[in-house]
A = this chain, B = another copy of it.
């Protein structure tokens, strides 16, 4: 599924609640979901880890919706088949 279509699906599912909660509240949910992913990564439950990855990208899409930002356009605006810093693929940055 395209990133844009995933974001659109999240909009159809959750935009009413997301917009009522607003940017700050939705950002806090994202932070909580990232923390849950971090906890799950300490273990070895692959299915549970996949669900946490799902939640993080879902809340990231919801957050982008609250700000009216196209996540796919933003992602490809910076990362478009080459490293935005060294302009190479694979990245050749020396840091």
Contact = CB atoms under 8 A, between A and B. Distances in A.
Contacts of A67: 41, 49
Interface string A57-92: 110100110010101111111110111000001110
A3 B49 contact: no
A79 B16 contact: no
A79 B54 contact: yes
Given A3-B3, A13-B82, A83-B13, A54 B34 contact: no
Interface of A: 1-3, 6, 9-10, 12-17, 23-24, 27, 30-31, 34, 37-38, 41, 46, 49-51, 53-58, 60, 63-64, 67, 69, 71-79, 81-83, 89-91
19 contacts: A3-B3, A6-B76, A9-B81, A13-B82, A13-B90, A24-B41, A41-B67, A53-B64, A53-B71, A54-B74, A54-B75, A54-B78, A54-B79, A55-B78, A57-B60, A57-B71, A58-B75, A58-B79, A60-B60
